[in-house]
């Protein structure tokens, strides 16, 4: 027999594809191409502004917290303090330590009021109250001037840094308000 392994006969029936055994799994369909969506720019901007506002408001907590630590350090006889805390509470506490007696109780009340005010500013600013950024920033500016009066230049620099962060939080809060107005005013918002 002289059979050719390949035939060039065009009229011959086409060979059928091999049949898979019954245990074989069918081939998987290719995964659909991912759908590209446009970024949600207004929502991204709002989230970014909210994060900046929160970051600025958190500085009030740092100022209050470090002021508490400074007051406690002085109350227990330490001469160490954090420069980022309130110079006013340090001034009050050093004065009370010098005067002794009832001055400690008065100092405690004054410290509580000042530190409590900064903690309140942190709570209100994080919820979007402009007055908290403004009033807290102004009081911290006065505290910076007290720091400068005592020629604590590193403390002045740290106050300026914190004031910049507070101002950035204030600006971000204004942006949040503007974005929320445009989002609620848009006929397409849900």
- Model confidence, pTM: 0.72
pLDDT of the residue at 186 = 53
Average pLDDT score over residue span 24-33: 62
Residue 160 has pLDDT above 80, yes or no: yes
Q: What are the residue boundaries of the structural domains of the chain, listed by start?
A: 52-184
- Distance in angstroms (rounded) separating the CA atoms of residues 135 and 157: 20
Confidence of residue 34 (pLDDT cuts 50, 70, 90): low
Residues 6+ apart with CB under 8 A from 90: 70, 74, 81
| Better-scored residue on pLDDT, 19 or 102 | 102
Q: Are 70 and 90 in contact (CB under 8 A)?
A: yes
CA–CA distance from 91 to each of 74, 87, 116, 174 (Å)?
A: 11, 6, 17, 34
* Arithmetic mean of pLDDT, 54-75: 94
């Amino acid at each position: 027999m002289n059979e050719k392994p390949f035939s060039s006969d065009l009229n011959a029936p086409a060979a059928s594809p091999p049949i898979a055994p019954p245990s074989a799994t069918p081939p998987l369909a290719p995964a659909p191409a991912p759908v590209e969506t446009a970024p949600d720019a207004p929502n991204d901007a709002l989230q970014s502004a909210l994060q900046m506002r929160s970051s600025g408001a958190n500085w009030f907590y740092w100022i209050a917290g470090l002021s508490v630590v400074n007051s406690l350090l002085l109350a227990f006889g330490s001469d160490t303090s954090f420069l980022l805390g309130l110079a006013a509470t340090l001034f009050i506490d050093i004065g009370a330590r010098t005067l002794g007696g009832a001055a400690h109780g008065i100092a405690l009340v004054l410290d509580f009021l000042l530190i409590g005010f900064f903690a309140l500013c942190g709570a209100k600013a994080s919820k979007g109250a402009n007055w908290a950024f403004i009033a807290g920033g102004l009081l911290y500016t006065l505290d910076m001037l007290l720091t400068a009066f005592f020629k604590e230049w590193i403390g002045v620099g740290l106050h300026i840094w914190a004031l910049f962060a507070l101002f950035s939080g204030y600006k971000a809060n204004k942006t949040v308000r503007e974005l929320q107005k445009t989002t609620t005013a848009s006929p397409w918002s849900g």
